[in-house]
Structure 1
Amino acid sequence: MPDLDVLIVGAGLSGIGAAYYLQRDHPQRSYAIVEARGASGGTWDLFRYPGIRSDSDLHTFGYEFRPWREERVIADAASILRYLRETAAEHGIDRRIRYHHRVIGASWSSPEATWRVAIEHTDTGERSEITCRWLFCAGGYYRYDEGFTPDFPGRDGFRGTIVHPQQWPDDLDHTGRRVAVIGSGATAVTLVPALAETAAHVTMVQRTPSYVVAAPARDPLAPRLRRLLGDERAFAVIRRKNIAQQRAIWQFCQRHPKAARRVIRWLNTRQLPAGYPVDEHFNPPYDPWDQRLCVVPDGDLFRAIRSGKASVVTGRIDTFTADGVRMADGRLVEADVIVTATGLNVQAFGGVELTVDGEPVKLPETVAYKGMMLSGVPNLAYAIGYTNSSWTLKIGLLCEHFCRLLEHMDRHGHTVCRPRPAGPMATRPFLDFGAGYIQRALGQLPRQGARAPWLTSMNYQSDVKMLREAPVTDPELSFD
């Protein structure tokens, strides 16, 4: 007999959510969560840079089963981490987490109908093995040990401090110093206003602009609904409202990109000083939602620019110098600290080497099934959330579907299931998303198909129908 029925990899937002649904719907099943680090919380414990926060509202980014009760709905990392850990403690999930357990490999044996999972103990360096019926990968899609930094010429000649947000040092003091933040994504637009509070000046250096939109940090409707309906019902109403609002904005941008661009530009112009070069710094060459929109709570980035504490420089970097960053057009951005907010390194399934009956699983040769399993790989599920909406909306649906799948297998006496395409099928990239960190990694990721159930859907309403309401059986999912 294997050690566990289900082994969940990762004790972050997705892993804690998966554990909740599993023990709610299958209390008889044994499970554990393995976490390579020494703490739970995933992203929200790993990143420590100033101002770190969500870029989605917590009524949709939080769990459907646990209301978000704090006033700020665009919440900081400390609040999100507290919410995650309280959730884990409230349901006894924290007692199932095995820290300092990094999964380095997993091999499936068909005769045993079991995964043999190789574990490295990150605190001692020792190795061990855990056996399980199911492997549930909930570790997200980026590397925790390093972020992405391009090779900037002249880096070694810079006299100040260079730091990547993913490895933010506790002792870095930027007070009264000039800071250059290289990047234009969610991390950069978060860092700039936070650093500007005490720095002498902060310059956001970007090669290409991003779409940036201001959103209220607090939902004015939430307190009134809570007083009227109570926490649970108010949370459900606000969540439905925000899901619909997110979808409507995305659809508007997809169907009417020129109009969406004009609306965003108009909103930016209202937030920025008179005569500000909006088209130079906030008018990307791509359409809205070809990449994720950057949300700034209460317009804090624009406020920092209006105050003169922050500025934006757009163009190509030529080289680092002793005193800062020189642009290709000759401009010098003087800096004492350079922050390379240049993105993530994507890593599918935590870099775990998978084998099935002795044959290595080559991820680019697999196709994603319902956005949660891989063709030809038995008893393996994974959790990847939305890129065009709140991550957790999809995680909840995937976990529900996984539990329904286990129930079906129990009812019919099955122990193994495996997706297999019925004949040749055209494929396309795993994620239809233009962000640089995704584009750099497409060759390492699985593919998705051109038809259901091999599509990786980014539509919540479609996923509700497929993952929550439709049968779990499918002609291309075989059971043994």
Structure 2
Amino acid sequence: METFKKLPDTSFVVLEFQSTFGGTAYMQEVIDDNGIAKHVRYNQHIDTASWDSKESKWTLEAHDLKTGEKKIFSGNFLWMCQGYYRHTKAYTPEWPGMSDYKGLLIHPQHWPTDLDYAGKEVIVIGSGATAATTWIHEIVRRKIAHDQPAFTKICIESPEQVKKDLIAGVAAHLPEGFHVEKNFTPSYRPWQQRVAFIPDGDLFKSFADGRSGKELKGDIIASATGFNLVMFGDIVFTVDGEVVDWHKTITYRSVFTRYDE
């Protein structure tokens, strides 16, 4: 926003797929304090983004998800901020017999706000961040902000030792003889992917109750099985009329550059 304040003759628009802003709750305060609301267009699905080298201009073709109205936007600079998940469809594997299941199958990415699970048997498939991570209370944020750089530094400098220590911590919460290497040893080093925070180790308590887990009966299945990755929101990009094949690009200092095989 400081950049636009210094360039009063520059205009901008924010195109949002959802019917309201995404992210955390304080975003509404940011929008209000900086007068951004008038620049935001909600329910916009971008179909194509075309770059014209002669005009040095982007042209975006979009349509309104509520009305179906087609719209054209143009500008000299395009900033992609939609992340790398396909927000319309989460990743759920095709398990044998899934179509025969009579209960409720949901994915955390599209969690029903009116879900009533009181008195229900709930099965959670998956043990990664989607299943385990929680928001840590405000009171410990300062401590985390202080400790996090040190932990990240250790992960970079001594990844194998950190991996060994983390696996040992997991093993301490599991029953004796539990196959930790098979079930709780990631194929990647610590912090190559996010490390999940499990309050009080409650996830591991279910492994100590003596049940094999080979057969489970549940009214609700929560498929915490991850997301579908997607490049730039499935938008079709063209440069001077030629469709961009992202597999034939490299990135250098945040800039995509085409190369020929």
**Coarse TM-score class (shorter-chain normalised):** 0.7 to 0.9
User: What secondary structure, in the 3-state scheme, does the structure 1 residue paired with 2:114 have?
Assistant: coil
Aligned to 1:279: 180
Aligned residue in 1 for 2:150: 248
What is residue 261 of structure 1 aligned with on the other side? Answer: 163
Q: 1:22 to 1:101 in 2, by over 3 A?
A: farther
**Is this contact kept in 1: 2:123–2:218, CA < 8 A?**
yes
Please state if 1:153 is matched with 2:36.
no
Q: Which residue of 2 aligns with 1:295?
A: 197
Contact 2:175 2:207 in 1 (8 A): no
- C-alpha deviations, 1:439-469, integer Å up to 9, x for none? xxxxxxxxxxxxxxxxxxxxxxxxxxxxxxx
CA separation of 1:268 and 1:216: change in aligned 2, threshold 3 A: farther
Match of 2:59 among 116, 121, 127: 116
Query: AA paired with 1:160?
Result: G
- The match for 2:4 among 6, 12, 23 is 23
Measured at CA, do residues 245 and 24 of structure 1 come closer, stay the same or move farther in structure 2, by a change above 3 Å?
A: farther
Q: Aligned equivalents of 1:131 and 1:285: distance in 2?
A: 44
Q: Give the alignment of 1:332-343 within 5 angstroms.
A: 332-343=215-226
1: distance between equivalents of 2:249 and 2:9?
32
Residue matched to 2:82: 139
CA contact (8 A) 1:268 1:278 kept: no
- Residues 117-266 of structure 1: pairs in structure 2 closer than 5 A: 117-190=60-133, 217-220=137-140, 222=142, 242=145, 245-266=147-168
TM-aligned CA deviation for residue 27 of structure 1: 3.7
Question: What is the deviation of 1:216?
Answer: 6.0
Give the % identical residues: 31
Query: TM-score if structure 1 supplies the norm length?
Result: 0.48
- For the residues of structure 2 that align with 1:175 and 1:221, how far apart are their CA atoms? 32
**Cα separation, partners in 2 of 1:32 and 1:312, compared to 1, 3 Å:** farther
Contact 1:35 1:99 in 2 (8 A): yes
| Equivalent residues, number | 257
Deviations 1:106-131 (A, max 9, x none): 11222222111101111111212111
Q: 1:257 to 1:185 in 2, by over 3 A?
A: same
Compute the TM-score of the two structures, normalised by the length of structure 2.
0.85
Within 2, Cα distance between the matches of 1:21 and 1:246? 29
Distance (whole Å) between structure 1 residues aligned to residue 177 and residue 213 of structure 2: 21
Q: Tell me which amino acid in the other structure corresponds to 2:257.
A: S
Q: Which residue of 1 aligns with 2:236?
A: 353
1:279 maps to a residue whose letter is V
- Pair 286,108 (structure 1): closer, same or farther in 2 beyond 3 Å: closer
Give how far 1:21 is off. Answer: 4.8
Q: Which position in structure 1 is the counterpart of 2:13?
A: 32
Q: Which runs of 5+ in 1 are unaligned?
A: 1-19, 45-79, 192-214, 223-237, 314-328, 377-420, 426-480
Find the residue that maps to 1:170 and give its secondary structure: coil
Instruction: Tell me how far 1:287 sits from its aligned partner.
Output: 3.1
Provide the rounded CA distance (Å) in 2 between the counterparts of 1:134 and 1:334.
53
**8 Å Cα contact 1:108-1:356 kept in structure 2:** yes
Contact 1:142 1:347 in 2 (8 A): yes
Shift in Å at residue 171 of structure 1? Answer: 2.9
Contact kept? 2:133, 2:196, Cα under 8 Å: no
Question: What secondary structure, in the 3-state scheme, does the structure 1 residue paired with 2:76 have?
Answer: strand
CA gap of 1:345–1:274, structure 2 versus 1, over 3 A, is closer
Does residue 374 (structure 1) correspond to residue 256 (structure 2)? The answer is yes
Whose relative contact order is higher, 1 or 2, with alpha carbons under 8 Å and at least 6 apart?
Answer: 2
Distance 1:144 1:336 in 2: 26
**Displacement of 1:136 after TM fit?**
1.1
Once superposed, what is the RMSD of the aligned Cα atoms? 3.0
Aligned counterparts of 1:166 and 1:221: Cα–Cα separation in 2: 25
C-alpha separation in 2, matches of 1:169 and 1:220: 30
